[in-house]
Amino acid sequence: MSDAPATTPPASTTDTKQTAASAPAASPAPVGASAAPEVSSAPSLRADSTVAEAIVGFDEYMLRKGFSENTIKAFDNDLKIISGFLGQDTKLAQVGTADLEAFLQWLQYERGKPCSAKTLARRITTIKVFFGWLHGVGVIGTDPAEPVVQQPARPPLPEILRDDEINRLLSVARDMLWDRQKSDARPYLLVSLLVQTGMKKAEVARLLLTDMDATQSNAPEVTIRYADEAHAHKNRTLGLHPSILPVLHQYVEEYKPKEFLFDCTPRNLEYVLEEVGDRAGIKRLQVGFESLRWTAAVRDFRMGMPEERLRQKMGLSKISWRETREKIHKLAGR
């Protein structure tokens, strides 16, 4: 979990050898605030000033420039951690690139607290903006943060269910379907649809009864429709296993939906998935639309489905498919 407020520090500059007039271009200032510090406003800092003194000067600079309260808090929180590692009484001239690299190493592997890719990227930005400012206003002759490589915040890979977990999930849903006391076909229908198609939550919530085509008992289909022409590439018809038809008929008899297949809120459907996951004893991840969508995609990929066909099945544009394809390859272990 991040130690900083939700608002992240502004993005850093890639050129730390800027003039004083351009140095803070590394961080977008709030509307109405000047984007660059004037040389005349440089703090009374020197290369032999301490890290703590420099942070005070940077705070004064942010206040003068009208940075938002959340932005200042985010910077201050990161700088507190940095100064704690470097030492508040450490002279600015003593801080080198190796010290900053050591800080990042400690942050990721030795601090004993989680550091997500997003948090790491933000703290690198803080380092670059802070030392870039000190260099830009002439306090230090060399920017030690300039060689530090900015690492893009890459989200973690999605979590997917293993084959044995899918079997347990379907088994629990089947027990609910066949319960003699109080049979409930909705869990099995929902889980089965998601495992077979990998539909998004919004797509499932919009399904109409008429989108389920059972005219051919040996080849039922479901059609996913988008009203907006901008999303025409997401319209698709997907084949279903014939075993889903008896479940569909039982579900319709039990719930008597009139227009939409699932006549409830998307959140209610999430509760259904969570309950089935709990009953199946799946604790390492939350069973939901997202995990089942990725699970379905990886299963299709492992079974040899051509990539173009998989892209179309997921309803993705060719641009969106690039990142998704990379994740599927990694999840599939290829």
Query: Is 3.40.50.620 the CATH number for 163-331?
Result: no
Helices 163-177 and 266-279, interaxial angle, to 10°? 110
How many angstroms separate the CA atoms of 334 and 332, rounded?
6
Q: Where are the domains of the chain?
A: 23-136, 163-331
CATH T-level topology, domain 23-136: DNA polymerase; domain 1 (1.10.150)
Per-residue pLDDT of the chain (334 residues; tens, 9 = 90+): 444 444 444 444 434 333 333 334 344 433 333 333 444 344 589 999 999 999 999 999 999 999 999 999 999 999 999 999 999 999 999 999 999 999 999 998 888 887 788 888 899 999 999 999 999 999 999 999 999 988 776 677 899 999 999 999 999 999 999 999 999 999 999 999 999 999 999 999 999 999 999 999 999 999 999 998 888 889 999 999 999 999 999 999 999 999 999 999 999 999 999 999 999 999 999 999 999 999 999 999 999 999 999 999 999 998 889 889 999 999 998 5
3-state secondary structure 246-314: HHHHHHHHHHCCCCECCCCCHHHHHHHHHHHHHHCCCCCCCCCHHHHHHHHHHHHHHCCCCHHHHHHHH
